[in-house]
Structure 1
Amino acid sequence: MIRPGPVVELRHLRYFVAVADSLSFTGAAERLGVSQPPLSQQIRDLEAELGTPLLWRTSRSVALTPAGTAFLTRARSILAEVDEASAEARAIGAGRSGTLDIGLTGSILAGPLGRLIRLFGERYPGVLVRLHEMPPGEQPAALHTHRTDLGFLRCPPEDPSLRVVRAWPEAVGVALPAGHRLAERTAIALGDLSDEPFVSLRLRDSRFAASLRDACLSAGFVPRIVQQVVESASLVNLVAAGLGVALVPDSTGALKRPDIAYRPLAGPAPVADVCALYRAPAGAVTENFLGLLRTELGRAEPEGAAS
């Protein structure tokens, strides 16, 4: 039969260390805020559990036995580790420590997200923020498998198990090759692009690209898409090369290039609003980032399921 080891509680360790530091039961009791008789009983219980005396007691003094001296070193180490673990747990529980994995497409960083990440790092230096570039279609799966905690994308998917909040609004304009005949206009109606070749984000990966195609259909024409790519950087490079025009968010159009003309769309136009997507319930670190987003960008509307 295996004999169980001694049952030593943290309370025993704290009481013993207080007595060892004071070498006085009266002083230790005052330090701990307890009465002396229960303190003395706790030390006797500890010695009984260990099977050896830790203190020599006389009517006038208290001293450590050799076993007590050795036990004091270990007790202090254990209590220090417990205090450190407790502080770490409290920091993680409050969202002041841990990691935040964010899924996004590269084009999202052209907006205010980069500034938010910098501000978040200044406010929560104990949190490691890791960015994961991925197509929009991969973001829900990354959230479900806990590879990411938060995603930023346009046109979130229908997924009632995920929560979505609009992070910031953004308009859509048209990117034209420099010197294009429509570049002379200050704004361009969507219908004026009906005869143009289009370069587009890949439709199977991007609900946003599909929404732009649908906007063209609503304007009375089927866009003639000649090339499809994964990233907005590739998209504008194809425009610059003269392969076609592209419907892009304002943040992409704001990246000035001499070989591209960017013009806003006139009249009813599609939008490129960016949404934050996350699992419910969100962890404390995610909640802190969303709180910063609401404060900095004024996004206070209620959250709902992705739909």
Structure 2
Amino acid sequence: MELRHLRYFVAVAEARSLKLAAEEKLNTTQPSLSRQIRDLEDEVGTPLFIRGAKGVELTPAGRVFLDHARVMLSQAEAAVQSARQIAYPTIPSLSMGFMIGHDTTWLPAALKLIRDELPNIHVVISTQNSPQLAVALLHGGIDIAFLRREDGTDDIVFRTLIEEHFKVFLPSQHPLAAKETITLQEIACERFISVSGTALSISGKQPALRRTIDRFLHDNGIEIKPSYEVDNLGGVMSLIASTGGVALLPHYAKTFLPAAVTTRPLECAGPTIDLSVGYRKGNSSSILKLFLSRVDALTSESPIQAVD
């Protein structure tokens, strides 16, 4: 498997069309692109797209693979940019990490903040899951990240941007979708899908998102053992659609919604989870300090409202 295969796959997934991806994004021919996608599917061992007269759609396996493909491409780009920064240290730069999904909400505002202050700065963007971003901060791979307050280290400073509310995610045709609100007791009777408790974290502890869900259910006297666990939100959406199950997720997860999945609010006061900016103690970057001095401006109008 080569990086170009991943780039082609992501381009087709985003365009939802082999023809548009070939002509407008990749500057190649549709037959050549089709061959590259077939080669990738052969390598993965399963179809990633459903071909139709109106274009292509991701299969459940394709939706899960898309999250990982984006992470791999962003990590490869970060590696290249980090090497270039070492070779050419005179170029001012800032490396930023965003949780997958929040790159479509907070990234534009963050980039505008930087460009307004330092129009010639070189910015490197990495999109990963929250626990992976925490590890990248610790190892110096990125300067600042938009992530959760992950456990396991005192070497990362967190500054809360917002507290996100949770909603119930369920199939659009599910009987509970006809209700205006959903109770915890109703969720307890359904097949429950949760974020993996063993996803990569700094200390081996559960990710902050899983801890918040489990703590909320326990505090409300609801005992639910997940029928399925998955380490990315694309996978959660695929399982909701394919199994008819339900999930509790933060508001921003609506950016991942396929047509087959919808949301409903909880009848009770639900949990909240932070979205914070984090950075490593001891990072002396003057650009980082400038960004941190302006970061409060990002919360004046939360980009999360754009996905409501």
Establish whether TM, by shorter chain, passes 0.5.
Answer: yes
Q: What is the 5 A alignment of 1:54-203?
A: 98-203=92-197
1:212 deviates by: 0.6
Q: What is the 5 A alignment of 1:191-270?
A: 191-205=185-199, 206-253=207-254, 257-270=258-271
State the partner residue of 2:287. Answer: 285
**Could you give the per-residue CA deviations for residues 153-212 of structure 1, whole angstroms, max 9, x where no partner exists?**
223324222211002221110111011121122222333211111222221222211221
Regions of 4+ moved over 6 Å: none
Q: Is the contact made by 1:208 and 1:272 (CA closer than 8 Å) also made in structure 2?
A: yes
In terms of mean alpha carbon deviation, does 170-179 or 151-160 score higher? Answer: 151-160
What fraction of aligned residue pairs are identical, expressed as a percent? Answer: 20
CA 1:152 to 1:191, structure 2 compared with 1: closer, same or farther past 3 Å?
A: farther
1:295 partner letter: A
Aligned residues: 206
SS in 2 for 1:146: coil
Matched, 1:294 2:296: yes
Q: Is the contact made by 2:109 and 2:298 (CA closer than 8 Å) also made in structure 1?
A: no
1:225 deviates by: 1.3
In terms of mean alpha carbon deviation, does 145-154 or 286-295 score higher? Answer: 286-295
SS in 1 for 2:297: helix
SS in 1 for 2:211: helix
**Could you give the per-residue CA deviations for residues 31-83 of structure 1, whole angstroms, max 9, x where no partner exists?**
xxxxxxxxxxxxxxxxxxxxxxxxxxxxxxxxxxxxxxxxxxxxxxxxxxxxx
Per the normalisation by structure 1, the TM-score is 0.60
Q: Is the contact made by 2:183 and 2:268 (CA closer than 8 Å) also made in structure 1?
A: yes
SS in 1 for 2:273: coil
SS in 2 for 1:143: helix
1:247 deviates by: 1.2
Q: Is the contact made by 1:99 and 1:128 (CA closer than 8 Å) also made in structure 2?
A: yes
2:136 partner letter: A
1:292 partner letter: R
In terms of mean alpha carbon deviation, does 104-113 or 273-282 score higher? Answer: 104-113
Gaps of 5+ in 2: 1-87, 200-206, 302-308
C-alpha distance in 2, partners of 1:128/1:190?
47
1:240 partner letter: A
CA 1:117 to 1:227, structure 2 compared with 1: closer, same or farther past 3 Å?
A: farther
C-alpha distance in 1, partners of 2:167/2:183?
10
Q: Is the contact made by 2:170 and 2:244 (CA closer than 8 Å) also made in structure 1?
A: no
1:271 partner letter: T
C-alpha distance in 1, partners of 2:177/2:126?
36
Q: Is the contact made by 1:100 and 1:286 (CA closer than 8 Å) also made in structure 2?
A: yes
C-alpha distance in 2, partners of 1:295/1:268?
28
Q: Is the contact made by 1:188 and 1:266 (CA closer than 8 Å) also made in structure 2?
A: yes
SS in 2 for 1:213: helix
